[in-house]
Structures are given as structure tokens and as C-alpha cells.
Amino acid sequence: MIEISDLCKSFGNHSVLSNLNCKIETGSIYGLVGSNGAGKSTLLRIINNIYKKNSRKSYDRWARY
């Protein structure tokens, strides 16, 4: 399972992801759909620990089981 709570990411003054919440159950298949610059690749890079997240709240977390 992947659970993301209140995820924020920005590059300089440009906010890419703002308070993103999602829960993906084990064995589920999801697709990311959005326009160029919507943050799809950024989200995948954060999940794979390529980018570090910026968070506004201390309880932000994402966990893999």
C-alpha cells in the first residue's frame, strides 16, 4: 500500500504539488493523468526517493507495506 497525506512540493516559488492525499491499495493499478507540468513525474520521483518532499505539516507521511 502507498499512502500519501498532505504532500507538498515546490521548486523555488513554483508550487507543483499542494496538499496531495491519496491511498493506493496493494495490487491496485492506477494511472496518472494531467497536463504538462501538473506534477505527475514529480509525484513518482518523490515516491521513489529521487526528490525530497516539502511539507507544511509535521504529520505528512507516505508508507509502503
52 or 59, higher pLDDT:
52
Q: The whole model's pTM is what?
A: 0.76
Residue 1: all three cell numbers together: 500500500
Per residue in 3-37, pLDDT tens? 888 899 999 898 899 989 888 888 899 999 999 98
Q: What is the 3-state secondary structure (H, E, C) of the chain?
A: CEEEEEEEEEECCEEEEEEEEEEECCCCCCCCCCCCCCCHHHHHHHHCCCCCCECCCCCCEEEEC
**Could you tell me the residue ranges of all domains in the chain?**
2-64
Residue 30: all three cell numbers together: 492506477
**Distance between the two ends of the chain, CA-based, in angstroms?**
5
**Residue 63 pLDDT class (50, 70, 90 cuts):** low
